[in-house]
Copies of this chain bind each other. A is one copy, B any other.
Amino acid sequence: MNSLRPKANIVPTQKRGHVQDEIADRLRKGLMVGAFIPGQVMSLRKLAASFGTSPMPVRDALGQLVAANALEEMPNRSVRVPRLTTDRVKDLFEVRELVESLAARNAARNATPALIRELQAINRDLKISIARRDVLAALAANQKFHFTLYQAADSSVVMPLIESLWLQSGPTMYCSFLAPDMPWDASAHTEVLEGLKKKNPTAVQRAVARDIRTAGRHLVQAGTFQLPGGMMMLPTEISLDL
């Protein structure tokens, strides 16, 4: 009877109540994978149009990401992908080293043979991607390696923290690792696996700490994050085919 009936989602209402979460997931993935340029503003309505929804779930998703420090809020109340300063990168990796070391140590205590096998498989993929110079796949494999390891720590307190820290460093890491001469040392991962096999949590902890420390050092040295935004061949417009 009422003319206000909405146009009924183009998609046949896939899952009720999970729209904002799916949007948030796609945005998260996009941030990790470098689909968004540091400094890029995330327009509410444009994102909504891209997703084919109303601005409402997008607003919620952006709010989540802002609360997780994955996006930053400008005085205009617009949100954008944060551009990191050198100091902030140092801070970020200092904390990452600390927190992820803890997670790695605790994960090592709970390590099962199945976990070790899974990590070995992921590391194989990682090495292949590195050999192919496939930055995207390498970053994805690297993330998967770390997160499956940390997951074994079985801490619902630490995991969200680590996710937040990765989301913050994600876009910048992607940009920096686009430099073809960026060395990538996968030896730390090998040390992790050896430590797990020997059931030596301290060794695993040290290996993860070393991995993060060297990554952070390379990132600071490269310093690509302090270049003026908009460089590189990345699309200025939002690409949502994630």
Q: Which residues from chain A sit less than 8 Å from chain B, CB to CB?
A: 17, 59-60, 63-69, 77, 88, 91-92, 94-95, 98-99, 102, 155-158, 160-161, 164-165, 168
Contact = CB atoms under 8 A, between A and B. Distances in A.
Contact of A67 (B63, B88, B155): B63
A65 B66 CA distance: 11
How many copies make up the complex? 2
Contacts of A65: 67
Given A60-B59, A63-B64, A161-B161, A156 B99 contact: no
Contacts of A17: 77
B91 A158 contact: yes
Contact of A157 (B63, B102, B168): B168
Q: Label chain A's interface by main secondary structure.
A: helix
A32 to B, nearest CB: 17
B64 A157 contact: no
A223 to B, nearest CB: 18
Contact of A99 (B77, B98, B160, B168): B98
A95 B168 contact: no
A60 B164 CA distance: 19
30 contacts: A17-B77, A59-B60, A60-B60, A60-B63, A63-B63, A63-B64, A63-B67, A64-B64, A64-B66, A64-B67, A65-B67, A67-B67, A67-B68, A68-B68, A69-B157, A88-B157, A91-B155, A91-B157, A91-B158, A92-B157, A94-B102, A95-B102, A95-B155, A95-B157, A95-B158, A95-B161, A98-B102, A99-B99, A157-B168, A161-B161
Contacts of A157: 69, 88, 91-92, 95, 165, 168
